Chain A
Amino acid sequence: MSALPLPVTPLVRASGVTITYPGRTAPAVRDAAIEVAPGAAIGIVGESGSGKTTLARALVGALAPADGQILVSGVPWSRVVRRHPLRRQVQMIFQDPLGSLSPTRTPRQTVAEVFRYWDGLSRAAADRAAADLLREVGLGADALDSRPARLSGGQCQRAGIARALACGPRLLVADEPTSALDVSVQAQILNLLQDLREQRGLALVLVSHDLAVVRHATDRVLIMYDGCVVEEGPTTEVLDHPAHWYSRALVESRPGRGSGRAGTLGAGLDSALLTTADDDTETPGCRYAPRCPARQQDCLAAIPPLARRGESRVACLHPVARSAADEGGERAEL
């Protein structure tokens, strides 16, 4: 690996990314920016429909943005074709452990295929390398040659992680890697990701709706609402002292706060997701304005840009006052 130039080139740098799915007028991701430095751990938080998975897929080059650009070590994804070495730099882990593995292939075959393609290993050498790597991620020897359907969720997830690691990435994008797993297995996978970061110096982008997981595993966090990044900053800062009203609603949401009524604070996008035609039309202004308690007339003019506020950046014209946020933080402490 060549010496890194100074200042450090980000592994992935996205700016002004807008993605619209065919047949929809409302973009799934709007003007999003994110920068992942080597070794960083960044969380992307949001609810279903917030665009966090779409942004994650764009970061790994699986989706081309309609607008804006995504650079991987300074090179746009569109130029990373065929066996371009930068292709190896970013890999992904998926939410559904079983669905992310080819049903007809064993973990050993899946991982060996990567070694053969990228490192040109012989069949026997690739099989050995695959077995070693699968052992490293904690997959038992009896699971190496079983079909995915016979494996548990945790075992499938380990195989998926090994496949991602096999080409030697420097950044893992994990899309809800633990939300489909049993609680006791969640902790194993989070520990594994932590170990891999330390041992291999990996950077991590962790997409999740689970704030406890994001707080545990990341240093910085992006909060997304309806395709927009509404707040971005150091994880503890943002989660303890949210400045955007949506971030605050998200952080303070927990059972027993009277959020039984859909559409109130904390119930978030849920009730707005009726996918009928009239919901697909665009209204100008802050996306959160319709449910924001601090909405004012100027919020409806245009989507507010991210503005610096302390160590983080907030896309809100009337952010949560610091004292109120502190109070929220205290309450979150339990």
Chain B
Amino acid sequence: MTERVPPAAAGSERRPAAALAVDGLAVAAAGRPVLRDVCFRLEPGSCLGLVGETGAGKTMACRAITGRLTRIGVTVTGGSVRYGGIDLLAQSPARWRRLYGRRIGLVPQNSLGSLDPVMKVGRQVRETLRELDPGAPHDARAAELLEMVHLPRPRQVLGAYPHELSGGMRQRLMIALALAGRPDLLVADEPTSALDMTVQHGIVDLLAELRAATGMSTIFVTHDLSVVESIAEQIAVMYAGTVVESGPAPVILTAPRHPYTRALLAARPTRAQRGARLAAIPGQPRPLAPGLAGCQFAERCPLASDQCRAEVPPLAEQGPGHRSACWHAADVPAADRHDAPGAGA
């Protein structure tokens, strides 16, 4: 991979990445809690896989990190988000304008919705560049960015309208736009969910490659654990507005200490159990239910006890850097390697 260092890496005045610490973050939308006690850390230059299903609050967590909470009428009710020495929750909109895009970049979830449908791609790229740096030569930089994300035929891409690009190409374009200001933290909110498997793999590899070349930290949000397997050093699993487990990726993927993580790993079809019934999780994922005493996952959990239904389990240390919010963490069976996601391909 080293022979493919993108040209933009050289000569960019990128700051070194700092550590991101989210502690006890609680957020309410329209008076209703949607995030509760969200905790995770991201070491400088590493990649965190933020995994969760519908209602888990992944996108809300991304918004907190990228300063987009106030825009949508959401209030922070507790906790802190610190990036290096900066308290991200205390930044004014004016300060955010200097942070967003320059130190923290966002690849949004819906690439088609994030681009103006009646404006050619090239103009949108140049407008972004002008906003970031009015003096720089935009055409050269635009071509350089497209080359960085391996978009072929840059001239043709810049002259196209968004709907003329394939989903994968649009996603690469969104990554290029997020990188335009040379951020040192990149937040990718479900960048692969709408894409084909093979294209997903391409995007994951692209993000890994860009990270290696630029040294930026990355948060990769997804609903599918198997997607972040190859890229994330750390994984945080969210369920119904809280982080239920976090730790080093190999540990989470092989020896999870939360029944939800274990169930997510087991739910994917694998070569070993071909044709057999899959270990589905009963019920469906849902947003945070603030009125519920106890563990949010208890209603779907095979290990749930009376204690689980009465008391909220704390995010407790299970091993080095490995934390799980489960009263029965010790009883969670290890995921044997055959259950590992991706083995079915």
Give me the interface of A with B, judged by CB distance under 8 Å.
47-49, 152-155, 182-188, 190-191, 194, 209-213, 215-217, 236, 249-251, 253-263, 266-271, 273-276, 332-334
Q: Which of B253-309 contact A (CB under 8 A)?
A: 263-264, 267-271, 273-275, 277-282, 284-286, 300
Point out the residues of chain A lying under 8 angstroms from B209, CB to CB: 260
Whether B284 and A182, one on each chain, are in contact in the complex, defined by CB atoms closer than 8 angstroms, is yes
Whether B172 and A262, one on each chain, are in contact in the complex, defined by CB atoms closer than 8 angstroms, is yes
Point out the residues of chain B lying under 8 angstroms from A47, CB to CB: 196, 198-199
Nearest A residue (CB) for B153 = A274
Whether A183 and B224, one on each chain, are in contact in the complex, defined by CB atoms closer than 8 angstroms, is yes
Point out the residues of chain A lying under 8 angstroms from B53, CB to CB: 182-185
A50 to chain B, nearest CB (A): 9
Whether A334 and B342, one on each chain, are in contact in the complex, defined by CB atoms closer than 8 angstroms, is yes
- Given contacts A254-B201, A334-B340, could you give 6 more A-B pairs where the C-beta distance is less than 8 Å? A152-B284, A155-B284, A194-B277, A255-B227, A260-B205, A263-B152
Which single member of B4, B54, B267 contacts A187 (CB below 8 Å)?
B267
Point out the residues of chain B lying under 8 angstroms from A261, CB to CB: 4, 150, 202, 206
B308 to chain A, nearest CB (A): 18
Which 6 A-B pairs rank lowest in CB-CB distance, beginning with the nearest? A212-B344, A216-B269, A260-B205, A187-B280, A273-B166, A255-B230
Point out the residues of chain B lying under 8 angstroms from A154, CB to CB: 284
Nearest A residue (CB) for B3 = A258
Nearest A residue (CB) for B231 = A255
Point out the residues of chain A lying under 8 angstroms from B241, CB to CB: none
A329, B280: Cα distance in complex, Å = 28
B37 at the interface (CB under 8 A from A): no
A213, B271: Cα distance in complex, Å = 10
Which of B157, B225, B230, B268 has the largest number of chain A CB atoms within 10 A?
Answer: B268
Q: What are 22 A-B pairs with beta-carbon distances under 8 A?
A: A152-B285, A184-B53, A184-B267, A184-B285, A187-B267, A187-B278, A212-B342, A215-B269, A215-B274, A215-B344, A216-B269, A249-B198, A253-B201, A254-B345, A255-B200, A255-B205, A255-B230, A258-B1, A266-B201, A268-B196, A276-B160, A334-B343
Decide: A48 near B285, CB < 8 A? Known: A191-B277, A210-B197, A253-B197.
no
Point out the residues of chain B lying under 8 angstroms from A275, CB to CB: 164
Q: Which of B121-166 contact A (CB under 8 A)?
A: 150-153, 156-157, 160, 164-166
A227, B333: Cα distance in complex, Å = 45
B204 at the interface (CB under 8 A from A): yes
Q: Mark B42-60, 1 if CB is under 8 A from A, else 0.
A: 0000000000011000000
Whether A184 and B264, one on each chain, are in contact in the complex, defined by CB atoms closer than 8 angstroms, is yes
Q: How large is the interface on B (under 10, 10 to 19, 20 to 34, 35 or more residues)?
A: 35 or more
Whether B150 and A211, one on each chain, are in contact in the complex, defined by CB atoms closer than 8 angstroms, is no
Point out the residues of chain B lying under 8 angstroms from A184, CB to CB: 53, 263-264, 267, 280-281, 284-285, 300
B223 at the interface (CB under 8 A from A): yes
A10, B300: Cα distance in complex, Å = 42
Whether A216 and B206, one on each chain, are in contact in the complex, defined by CB atoms closer than 8 angstroms, is no
Whether B344 and A254, one on each chain, are in contact in the complex, defined by CB atoms closer than 8 angstroms, is no
Whether B150 and A260, one on each chain, are in contact in the complex, defined by CB atoms closer than 8 angstroms, is yes
Nearest B residue (CB) for A239 = B345
Q: Mark B201-214, 1 if CB is under 8 A from A, else 0.
A: 11011111100000
Whether A266 and B343, one on each chain, are in contact in the complex, defined by CB atoms closer than 8 angstroms, is no
Point out the residues of chain A lying under 8 angstroms from B166, CB to CB: 48-49, 269-271, 273-274
B189 at the interface (CB under 8 A from A): no
A185, B229: Cα distance in complex, Å = 20
B106 at the interface (CB under 8 A from A): no
Which single member of A213, A253, A274 contacts B160 (CB below 8 Å)?
A274
B26 at the interface (CB under 8 A from A): no
Q: Mark B163-174, 1 if CB is under 8 A from A, else 0.
A: 011111100100
Whether A273 and B206, one on each chain, are in contact in the complex, defined by CB atoms closer than 8 angstroms, is no
Point out the residues of chain B lying under 8 angstroms from A216, CB to CB: 269-270, 273-275, 278, 344
A203, B277: Cα distance in complex, Å = 18
Nearest A residue (CB) for B344 = A212
Whether A190 and B269, one on each chain, are in contact in the complex, defined by CB atoms closer than 8 angstroms, is yes
B267 to chain A, nearest CB (A): 4
Whether B169 and A270, one on each chain, are in contact in the complex, defined by CB atoms closer than 8 angstroms, is yes
Whether B1 and A211, one on each chain, are in contact in the complex, defined by CB atoms closer than 8 angstroms, is no
Which single member of B54, B172, B201, B268 contacts A259 (CB below 8 Å)?
B201
Point out the residues of chain A lying under 8 angstroms from B282, CB to CB: 188
Nearest B residue (CB) for A208 = B197
A275, B164: Cα distance in complex, Å = 5
Whether B278 and A255, one on each chain, are in contact in the complex, defined by CB atoms closer than 8 angstroms, is no
Point out the residues of chain A lying under 8 angstroms from B345, CB to CB: 211-212, 215, 251, 253-254, 332
Point out the residues of chain A lying under 8 angstroms from B1, CB to CB: 258, 260
Which of A48, A250, A262 has the largest number of chain B CB atoms within 10 A?
Answer: A262
A212, B341: Cα distance in complex, Å = 9
Point out the residues of chain A lying under 8 angstroms from B275, CB to CB: 194, 216-217
Nearest A residue (CB) for B300 = A184
A274, B4: Cα distance in complex, Å = 24
Decide: A257 near B205, CB < 8 A? Known: A182-B223, A187-B280.
yes
Nearest B residue (CB) for A210 = B197
Whether A259 and B343, one on each chain, are in contact in the complex, defined by CB atoms closer than 8 angstroms, is no
Point out the residues of chain A lying under 8 angstroms from B273, CB to CB: 216
Whether B268 and A185, one on each chain, are in contact in the complex, defined by CB atoms closer than 8 angstroms, is no
Whether B280 and A274, one on each chain, are in contact in the complex, defined by CB atoms closer than 8 angstroms, is no
A194 to chain B, nearest CB (A): 7
A185, B280: Cα distance in complex, Å = 7
A267, B4: Cα distance in complex, Å = 16
Which single member of B152, B223, B279, B285 contacts A262 (CB below 8 Å)?
B152
Point out the residues of chain B lying under 8 angstroms from A267, CB to CB: 168, 198-199, 202
Whether A183 and B157, one on each chain, are in contact in the complex, defined by CB atoms closer than 8 angstroms, is no
Point out the residues of chain B lying under 8 angstroms from A257, CB to CB: 201, 205
A215, B275: Cα distance in complex, Å = 8
Whether A209 and B208, one on each chain, are in contact in the complex, defined by CB atoms closer than 8 angstroms, is no
B131 to chain A, nearest CB (A): 27
